Amino acid sequence: MSPAGLALAATVLASASGLGGLALHRRPALGQRVSAALLVGGALLGIAAALPVLLGGPTSLLRIDWGQPHAALALRLDPLAAFFLVPVLSVPALGALYGLAYWPQAEPGRRGARLQAWYGVLAGSMAAVVLADNALLFLFAWEVMALGGFFLVRSDADRKDAQKASWIYLAAAHVGSFALFALFAAVGGARGSFDFAAWAALPATGAGWLAVLALVGFGIKAGIVPLHFWLPGAHAAAPSHVSAVMSGVLLKTGVYGLLRTAGFFEAPPAAWGGLLLVLGGASGVLGVALALAQHDLKRLLAYHSVENIGIITMGVGLAMVGRSLGDPELVLLGFGGGVLHVVNHALFKSLLFLGAGSVQHATGTRDLERLGGLARAMPWTAGLFLVGAAAISGLPPLNGFVSEWLVALGAVSALDLPAFDRAAFVVLVAPTLALVGALAAACFVKVQGTVFLGNPRTDDAARAHESPRAMLVPMAVLAAACVSIGLLPSLLVPALSRAAAAWAGVPVERLAPAAGLAAGSAGMVSVVASVLAGALLLAWLARRRLGSAGASTTWGCGYAYPTPRMAYTGSSFAQILNHGFRWALLPRVRLAPPRGIFPTGARFSTEPREAVLDLALVPAVRDYVQATSRIRRLVAGRLHLQALLVLATLVAMLAWRLLWW
């Protein structure tokens, strides 16, 4: 079977995986196992399909006509699609294994079979989005994906926040879909075909509004600031293995769409890349700043997705600038760093969300200030979460470092541009990445420290227990992938350079010098990693033979009875940086300071606000609804008035068309 055929089989298998649970509703535990097995089978098939393409095989096509005008089941598995296909299928499979213990269908009142059905549909539709070679098929899969996400966020439909978050998600997703319908209709109409194959080499001049449509449509899905407003709520409300899929891979379909659309255009102007760089930088810095202020573990992780999408967008922006300048180094390093970060973020973010799920499973809370000291009860979870935390902070020798390093290297490679060239200012990406990385490290010191280290802050945290093996094994697989990519990054460079060449429409030989530079340096990263391992071993040997003089309490400056309430909280930890970013956080502060000579009590609380949603969109929509309520009251129940309103609108549009257009 051709790789595209295998990929189609994987997509069908994943989409249908949840039906097992619906059919076997008498034996829910068995049904869930069947579903998980089908998803794992689909993931293995998907990897088998992607590998030959990644290893240099030809692009694989598959076309089955539907007999519908313009629509066709046309699939294309090229290196770019292959890079996305692997995480899009494997992360849901690992999440399903995790769900066996985390969200057992056998428990009453869980609506587990329904969740599993939508879960499979989501995985399959994401694969279809990545594979689609026809605009109508793409839009169909895109809509199914949006709906799947909606029903999955509502899995806990009894909870108010899940309901609210799911509606916001649905509205945002459809604004995005609307932009994409407009974009694809415009391009398809101009080209007379809805096959992506016919869309190659679109002229970029005068196509600025198409770029804006793509940016809105895909940017909402990806969560680029300021279109990220739906994301934290939805990702926090969903069950954790669903959050892992949504945050780890669902967002990436937006990045995929941006890349695919950019690939259609011939020589996009540098301004498009510049815009992506600015938006990516803003997403990176604001995403991590908002994350630092959160108290809810899953909301915090969701904001980190905004940050990482920012890093990916900066990589894509560099590659776009590189295409317009004809600079192969920028193209290869920007594209390679961005796409590799897509894969890496899928790995460590789903690892972290699964870890957050384990914490919630063990303690019943996601509030950072109520946790603490879990490393003692949950050593495996704590260790695996630490791998994810170090990886997302971009620390060597893990995978997050490699992709951020490629993007930074791409940015500084622009230094050889001549003076007076404005494009040389893309080097500012490098310090931005440094800022984002350092803030992310600060945030994950806070998370790891307040959740897993120190003493338990509440009884819930003290009663925690280690997760069952079904939850630990998927996390271990993800952590192992993070470490392997971090240790041997040079193996991925050839596949990345083939994908970049296909995307930029240049022969792979043109990127060869840049690929050689990247592969050589990536090899040196492995060398440095082994030096680090050797130094660690030496240091460990140096202290191993020494004895311990026993245990004591923590030094409390002479105070011998510390309690967990005295420990530094997550909020206090982040206070300096939150203060610095208060212009972006706009926190709601409630302060009742101590008063008088004998103060009786004092309170202080801060609550970060989602500025775009809480301060702009919600008030605007409320005002709009109020303003139009008079018209609605007038026409409610009066069919003739409603018909008149429609007619008046039509006449107005006709007049506009005739007079001004």
Q: CA-CA distances (angstroms) from residue 350 to 118, 228, 357, 478?
A: 18, 19, 10, 8
| Full DSSP string of 70-111 | S-EEEEEE-HHHHHHHHHHHHHHHHHHHHHHHHS-TTSTT--
* Contact mark string toward another protein, 167..196, x via CB under 8 A: ------------------------------
Cis upstream peptide for 397 (omega within 30°):
yes
Which of residues 580 and 619 has its CB atom nearest to another protein in the complex? 580
Neighbours of 508 (CB within 10 A): 15
Span interacting with another protein, options 192-200, 499-507, 527-535, 603-611, rule CB under 8 A:
527-535
Which of residues 246 and 443 has its CB atom nearest to another protein in the complex? 443
What is the nearest approach in angstroms of another protein to the Cβ of residue 381?
A: 13
For position 281 contacting another protein by CB under 8 A, the verdict is: no
Window 484 to 503, contacts with another protein (CB under 8 A): none
Window 354 to 373, contacts with another protein (CB under 8 A): 372-373
DSSP state of 249: I
What is the nearest approach in angstroms of another protein to the Cβ of residue 51?
A: 28
Span interacting with another protein, options 103-111, 164-172, 233-241, 543-551, rule CB under 8 A:
543-551
Which of residues 234 and 285 has its CB atom nearest to another protein in the complex? 285
* CA–CA gap between residue 19 and residue 113 (Å, rounded): 8
* CA–CA gap between residue 54 and residue 71 (Å, rounded): 28
Pairing of strands 588-592, 603-607: antiparallel
* CA–CA gap between residue 314 and residue 305 (Å, rounded): 14
Number of residues interacting with another protein: please give it, by CB under 8 A: 86
Which of residues 64 and 527 has its CB atom nearest to another protein in the complex? 527
What is the nearest approach in angstroms of another protein to the Cβ of residue 359?
A: 16
Query: What are all long-range contacts of 379-383, with beta carbons under 8 Å and residues at least 24 apart?
Result: 379/466, 380/466, 380/467, 380/472, 380/476, 381/355, 381/466, 381/467, 381/472, 381/475, 382/448, 382/452
Window 553 to 612, contacts with another protein (CB under 8 A): 553-557, 562, 564, 566-568, 572-577, 580
Contacting another protein (CB under 8 A), which of 1, 524, 589, 602? 524
Give the amino acid at 659: L
Q: Where are the beta strands (DSSP E) in 160-231?
A: 202-203
| Full DSSP string of 126-149 | HHHHHHB-BHHHHHHHHHHHHHHH
Cβ neighbourhood burial of 65 (10 Å; 0-12, 13-18, 19+): exposed
Which of residues 151 and 401 has its CB atom nearest to another protein in the complex? 401
What is the nearest approach in angstroms of another protein to the Cβ of residue 603?
A: 19
Which of residues 149 and 608 has its CB atom nearest to another protein in the complex? 608
Neighbours of 607 (CB within 10 A): 12
Contacting another protein (CB under 8 A), which of 23, 531, 615, 654? 531
Give the amino acid at 611: A
Window 638 to 657, contacts with another protein (CB under 8 A): none
Contacting another protein (CB under 8 A), which of 68, 206, 419, 459? 419
Window 200 to 239, contacts with another protein (CB under 8 A): none
Contacting another protein (CB under 8 A), which of 65, 68, 69, 549? 549
Query: What are the backbone dihedrals phi and psi of residue 74, each rounded to the nearest 5 degrees, phi first?
Result: -110, 120
What is the nearest approach in angstroms of another protein to the Cβ of residue 386?
A: 7
For position 550 contacting another protein by CB under 8 A, the verdict is: yes
For position 278 contacting another protein by CB under 8 A, the verdict is: no
The count of residues in the chain is: 661
Alpha carbons within 13 angstroms on the beta-carbon side of residue 232 total 28
Span interacting with another protein, options 206-214, 228-236, 299-307, 533-541, rule CB under 8 A:
533-541
What is the nearest approach in angstroms of another protein to the Cβ of residue 472?
A: 17
What is the nearest approach in angstroms of another protein to the Cβ of residue 443?
A: 9
For position 442 contacting another protein by CB under 8 A, the verdict is: yes
Window 452 to 471, contacts with another protein (CB under 8 A): 453-455
Question: Under a CB-based contact definition with an 8 Å cutoff, are residues 191 and 198 in contact?
Answer: yes
Contacting another protein (CB under 8 A), which of 542, 591, 627, 659? 542
Span interacting with another protein, options 107-115, 307-315, 338-346, 433-441, rule CB under 8 A:
433-441
Contacting another protein (CB under 8 A), which of 64, 68, 527, 632? 527
What is the nearest approach in angstroms of another protein to the Cβ of residue 557?
A: 5
Which two structure tokens, joined as six digits, stand for 523?
Answer: 């090899």
| Full DSSP string of 497-511 | HHHHHHHHTS-GGGG
What is the nearest approach in angstroms of another protein to the Cβ of residue 572?
A: 7
What is the nearest approach in angstroms of another protein to the Cβ of residue 110?
A: 34
* CA–CA gap between residue 21 and residue 33 (Å, rounded): 8
Neighbours of 68 (CB within 10 A): 8
3-state SS record for 347-379 = HHHHHHHHHHHHHHHHHCCCEHHHCCCHHHHCH
What is the nearest approach in angstroms of another protein to the Cβ of residue 25?
A: 44
**89: Cβ contacts below 8 Å, ≥ 6 apart:** 10, 14, 42, 43, 46, 47, 123, 127
* CA–CA gap between residue 172 and residue 618 (Å, rounded): 12
What is the nearest approach in angstroms of another protein to the Cβ of residue 553?
A: 6
Give the amino acid at 44: L
Span interacting with another protein, options 139-147, 268-276, 439-447, 599-607, rule CB under 8 A:
439-447
Which of residues 565 and 640 has its CB atom nearest to another protein in the complex? 565
**179: Cβ contacts below 8 Å, ≥ 6 apart:** 213, 214, 216, 217, 220
Contacting another protein (CB under 8 A), which of 56, 431, 507, 619? 431
For position 308 contacting another protein by CB under 8 A, the verdict is: no
For position 432 contacting another protein by CB under 8 A, the verdict is: yes
Which of residues 243 and 569 has its CB atom nearest to another protein in the complex? 569
Contacting another protein (CB under 8 A), which of 205, 548, 600, 626? 548
Span interacting with another protein, options 86-94, 236-244, 251-259, 515-523, rule CB under 8 A:
515-523
Window 376 to 415, contacts with another protein (CB under 8 A): 376, 379, 382, 386, 390, 393-396, 401, 405, 408-409, 412-413, 415
